[in-house]
């Protein structure tokens, strides 16, 4: 929405929106020069950090970066991508402005968003980009949520832990957790799923600082069986579960903080992230360039039979195959799994014969023209156990 801070307010598949939209703000557009500090428009937007410095500079001035008007136009297509740019006006308090570029990759649900912050003043400044992604806290199909709506525990968020992190609990430092004092209501867990942080959102306030090496966050609307994935490289990240006393709307925030850099007049800094979506049941234990993994690729045997199994979601339209390769990466055999796409989960359970010399088994995805798009799982065979 160019009229309210260049926000992205809808991203979803199969008629369902993953993003939060405030019900009370439907149809509302801030008036030019309005002194309103914040309204629950929702969606995805960006502002400046350090936050204390930004508030001190802005004072009572309008929050132009995330509530002002942007100018939108279609960008030239490159490689079949559909692109849109939204250019914000200069924020008079900080003398900076944002340019947002949204690119949809062809034949997929993958969306690339680039925020570019530029110093429009005549003196050097030090700022970073604070990116805020607000996801719905209920199963509302359109993402429109009001203060009286209640979270039912059907919204979940998964993120991989990092055992080598400097932060505790594999890279999850709890800043606040209103659910800790409520028996049976704790929202956060690092033990429910090995190697994973799991949020079962219940409308209670909580905030986690997560490891900056966190490669992805997967948000699951369990009722619809749909998954949203965000990937973003940033030196500081936080996950916030909304709840009283700070927020009355049920939503989950994923916040990314780009480095604070010194910008000379006319100089810029960027923060880039990608979104993707697919149909796949919870839990989500891995994310690849091709899709998401609920049950990892496995080679099973029993009763004299051998088969491959697993559950996956795909970001692309194409086809999948189980490929057997030797230690040099050469293909020995291929078992086609048929056409795949974001609207249908892959429930793999196929009998196979493992060729002699197999060193790895890979579930590969290719586009309709046969170009590789990545894999959804790989099994490396122990040389002592190879056929």
Q: Summarize pLDDT for 300-340 with one digit per residue, the tens.
A: 988 888 999 999 999 999 999 999 999 999 999 999 999 99
386 pLDDT band (50/70/90 cuts)?
A: low
Domain residue extents for the chain: 2-279, 288-385
Indicate the fold that domain 288-385 takes in CATH: Immunoglobulin-like (2.60.40)
From residue 58, alpha-carbon distances to 53, 89, 265 in Å are: 9, 15, 19
Beta strands of 1-94 (E only): which ranges?
A: 12-13, 16-17, 21-22, 44-49, 70-75, 82-88
What is d(CA 255, CA 253) in angstroms, rounded to the nearest whole number? Answer: 6
Q: Is the pLDDT of residue 174 over 90?
A: no
Average the pLDDT over each of 75-89, 100-114, 262-276 and give the range with the smallest value. 75-89
Q: In the beta sheet, which residues pair with residue 102?
A: 84, 113
**2-279 is classed in which CATH architecture?**
Distorted Sandwich (2.70)
Instruction: Please state, rounded to an integer, the average pLDDT across all residues of the chain.
Output: 90
What is d(CA 233, CA 213) in angstroms, rounded to the nearest whole number? Answer: 8
Check if the beta carbon of residue 217 is closer than 8 Å to that of residue 157.
yes
Q: Is the pTM of this model over 0.85?
A: yes
DSSP 3-state assignment of 384?
helix
**288-385 and 2-279 share a CATH fold:** no
């Amino acid at each position: 929405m160019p009229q309210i801070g260049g926000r992205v307010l809808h991203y979803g598949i199969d008629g369902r929106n993953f993003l939060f939209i405030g019900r009370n703000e439907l149809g509302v557009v801030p008036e030019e020069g309005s002194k309103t500090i914040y309204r629950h428009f929702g969606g995805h937007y960006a502002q400046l950090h350090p936050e204390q410095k930004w508030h001190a500079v802005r004072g009572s001035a309008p929050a132009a970066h995330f509530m002002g008007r942007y100018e939108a136009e279609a960008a030239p297509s490159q490689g079949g991508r559909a692109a849109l740019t939204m250019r914000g006006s200069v924020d008079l308090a900080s003398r900076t402005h944002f340019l947002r570029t949204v690119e949809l990759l062809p034949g997929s649900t993958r969306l690339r968003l680039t925020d570019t912050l530029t110093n429009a003043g005549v003196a050097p400044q030090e700022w970073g980009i604070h990116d805020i992604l607000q996801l719905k806290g209920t199963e509302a199909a359109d993402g429109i949520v009001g203060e009286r709506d209640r979270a039912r525990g059907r919204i979940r968020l998964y993120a991989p832990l990092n055992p080598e992190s400097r932060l505790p609990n594999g890279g999850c430092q709890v800043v606040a957790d209103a659910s800790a004092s409520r028996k049976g209501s704790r929202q956060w867990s690092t033990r429910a799923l090995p190697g994973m942080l799991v949020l079962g959102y219940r409308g209670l306030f909580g905030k986690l600082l997560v490891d900056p090496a966190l490669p992805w966050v997967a948000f699951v609307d369990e009722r619809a069986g749909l998954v949203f994935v965000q990937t973003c490289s940033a030196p500081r990240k936080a996950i916030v579960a909304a709840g009283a006393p700070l927020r009355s709307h049920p939503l989950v925030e994923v916040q990314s903080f780009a480095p604070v850099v010194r910008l000379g007049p006319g100089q810029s800094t960027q923060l880039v992230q990608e979104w993707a979506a697919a149909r796949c049941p919870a839990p989500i234990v891995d994310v690849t360039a091709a899709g998401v993994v609920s049950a990892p690729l496995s080679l099973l045997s029993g009763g004299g039979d051998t088969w491959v199994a697993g559950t996956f979601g795909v970001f692309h339209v194409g086809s999948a195959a189980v490929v057997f390769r030797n230690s040099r990466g050469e293909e020995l055999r291929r078992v086609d799994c048929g056409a795949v796409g974001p609207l249908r989960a892959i429930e793999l359970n196929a009998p196979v014969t493992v060729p002699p010399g197999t060193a790895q088994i890979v579930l590969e995805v290719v586009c309709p023209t046969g170009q590789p798009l990545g894999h959804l799982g790989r099994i490396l065979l122990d040389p002592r156990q190879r056929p």
